[in-house]
Amino acid sequence: MPSTKSLEKEKAYTRLLDAILRGDIGGDVPLAERRLAETLGIGRTPVREAIKDLVHEGVLETHPTRGTFVRRLSLRDVREIYQVRYAIEGLATFLAAERGPTPALSDYGPKFRATMAAPDISKVTQVYDHGVEFHLDIYKCADNHNLLEVYRPIRLRFRIALGLPRHHDPDRVFESVGEHLGILEAIEARDGELAQKLMCDHLHRGLEARTRLFRGQSNYAPLAVRIPLGNG
């Protein structure tokens, strides 16, 4: 049974991370340990430990003379994250197709089809969140614990940097639903190569959209270079 100390640390970590994901903690203001403890209703020691864990995971960053902040990703950071995602998510999707879909993964089919039949712009954040969870469930379906452990910190950094509503491109969010459905159908058909290809194509389009958001140019030309998955 977990000790009270470990439970308090886990509670502090979860509450702090939730606050960051909601956008309650901005990147311009240093984290104040005492104020966070009061706001979260938890002691300063577990808050301090939670901050250390989030720094280690790359969610927060510490500047010796300025304090600890929510980490901001540059366009280069985003591209590098996508390069890693091409490799590990392509593999996870291939493995998921080999195993066949879990019930949790199959449950996305009706949701995706309903969204495509009647897109509702007021639900763009909810649709985005469903997509995020779909990617995570592909990893769970792949049933490779090491792959999932590699993905988790990358997923956290990506969600915090780009998962807030102000970073959503509604057209891209709804476009991705059809891509998710295609990936799911390939997994259900046990076609690993097609599922892997569709995932990499999906990620490539996502990188293009993120690049446009970063540069603030709706007509930015697609990236010429795609990171391929090696077969050898």
Domains of the chain and any CATH numbers: 4-70 (1.10.10.10), 75-215 (1.20.120.530)
Q: Are 68 and 51 in contact (CB under 8 A)?
A: yes
Backbone angle region of 71, left / alpha / beta, with phi > 0 → left and psi within -120 to 50 → alpha: beta
Indicate the pLDDT class of residue 65, thresholds 50, 70 and 90.
confident
Between 42-56, 155-169, 198-212, the lowest mean confidence (pLDDT) is in 155-169
Rg of the chain over all Cα atoms, to the nearest angstrom: 19
CA distance 69 to 59: 9
Structure tokens at 100: 């066949």
pLDDT category at 28 given cuts 50, 70, 90 is: confident
What is the predicted pLDDT for the residue at 232?
A: 36
Q: What is the dihedral of CA 202, 207, 209, 215, to 10 degrees?
A: -170
Q: What is the pLDDT of residue 168?
A: 67
Does the pTM surpass 0.95? The reply is no
pLDDT at 224: 34
b/e per residue 176-200 (b: at least 16 CB within 10 A): bbebbbbbbbbbbeebbebbbbbbb
